[in-house]
Amino acid sequence: MHSASLTLRLTAIFTLIMAMACGGISLILYNALRSELVWRDDQTLINRAAQLRQLLEDGAHPSSLPLYFNRMVDIHQDILSIRSQHEQNVSINHTGVALPDMSPTPVNSPPNARQLHRWMDADHTEAAALSLQANSSLGPVTITLARVARERAMMLDRYRQQSILVSLAAIFLCAAVSPLLIRRGLKAIGRLSEIVAETASDRLNHPVPLQAIPQELLPLGKALNAMRQSLSTDFVRLTQFADDLAHEIRTPINVLLGQNQVALGHARSVSEYQALLEGNIEELESLSRLTENILFLARATHHNIQLNKEAFLLHDALETLIDFLEPVAEERGMVIALNAEGSVTADKMLFQRAMTNLLINAIRYSPAPGQIVISTYHRAEYVDIEVSNAGDVIADPDKLFERFWRGDNVRHTSGSGLGLSLVYAIATLHGGLAYYRHEKGHTIFGLRLLA
């Protein structure tokens, strides 16, 4: 099941945001309008009650107040009640709403909003009333003035309906227009996809043009360029590795093929066939070692090798290697000296394999007779194990640890050019490094491991 498209997701998000915005704005405006209308109705009610009280205090007869009331108010939503001890009570009420009992405001107290009495009528319409005591020429009079907010309720209902209609129209418009705008904005992603789809081995060196990419996609564009550069480097390295591997395998295969073709040219003695088989076995062993080294390097590159780390003494481990390689060194007149102390935590077998490669290189390529010195140097966080021998400066030192690379002075000697690559891979597996330097006429190869 495919997930929803990015256009659909963004459209849903924009529509939801628009709905929330419209709903929030409409609610805020509705409450603001309602508060304003309530305040105006309250002020109108207070002012009219104060005017009617003032008319009575200025000498107006209570029976004349309905005339003023009819001119001031809307009789369909306003109520007037006048109660007097000496005259007949007056009541003007065309709303059908009964006035509740309330305490009148004393004569000397000016009317204000706190004195208003509010309630809901049977139709759930808001109503407010104000009762005042006043002095007239006939004695004390109680004036009650009320307003049933039917007109206000109708106005708010119309506003609410119009707000809902406008909000729905805005939401539908957003839902209809958003996909068009989103697709237009996502064209850059489509163009980026086309560029990535056109990626081929011969175009890895062509970076993705970042000038036409929006700011939000720049990190993706830069990541793609970094990936293409890495792929280009790996592709060149893989191609070179395949060429070198084919060259290295071709030589022993051709030797085996030539030896067997010559041997089958005419009948041979048993001893000659035995010599042929011994030569074949030697070449096959060389191919087996080459294959094993290539597999090890491939697994080491992807960190697919389990390390069996243990703490061991450097002097004992290196002395064992020297005892093993001493006969080979004596054949070339080389002497191996050991200056080692302390211990290290590493995979002992891989450590010995790396140091064996360094020692064999020193024995094989240093001028004879001579001396090979193994030294250890302990630092704060790591330990260096160095193999030093007399020798000239090596050309292209940056290529020393590349697979199958061999210097001009050793191209016609035995070996596959993987020894130093194995040293570098073993050092990397342990979180360290392999290095080379030339110092005072001596070639120095080192293995750096974490202490």
pLDDT of residue 139: 80
Q: What percent of the chain has pLDDT over 70?
A: 87
Q: Give the distance, in angstroms, between the CA of residue 232 and the centroid of all CA atoms in the same chain.
A: 26
pLDDT of residue 286: 72
* Helix (H) / strand (E) containing 232: helix 218-263
Residue 365 has pLDDT above 60, yes or no: yes
The CATH H-level superfamily of 309-450 is Histidine kinase-like ATPase, C-terminal domain (3.30.565.10)
Q: Phi/psi of residue 166, each to 5°?
A: -65, -40
pLDDT of residue 154: 92
Average pLDDT value over all residues in the chain: 82
| Per-residue model confidence as pLDDT tens digits over 18-61 | 999 999 999 999 999 999 999 999 998 898 888 888 888 877 77
Q: What percent of the chain has pLDDT over 90?
A: 16
Domain boundaries, the chain: 6-156, 216-301, 309-450
Q: Determine the 3-state secondary structure of 381 from DSSP.
A: coil
The pair of three-digit structure tokens given for residue 256, joined into one six-digit string: 């085996």
Alpha carbon distances (Å) from 405 to 50, 114, 118, 250, 409? 108, 98, 98, 16, 12
Residue 145 has pLDDT above 50, yes or no: yes
Residues 6+ apart with CB under 8 A from 281: none
Alpha carbon distances (Å) from 211 to 144, 196, 217, 229? 78, 16, 11, 18
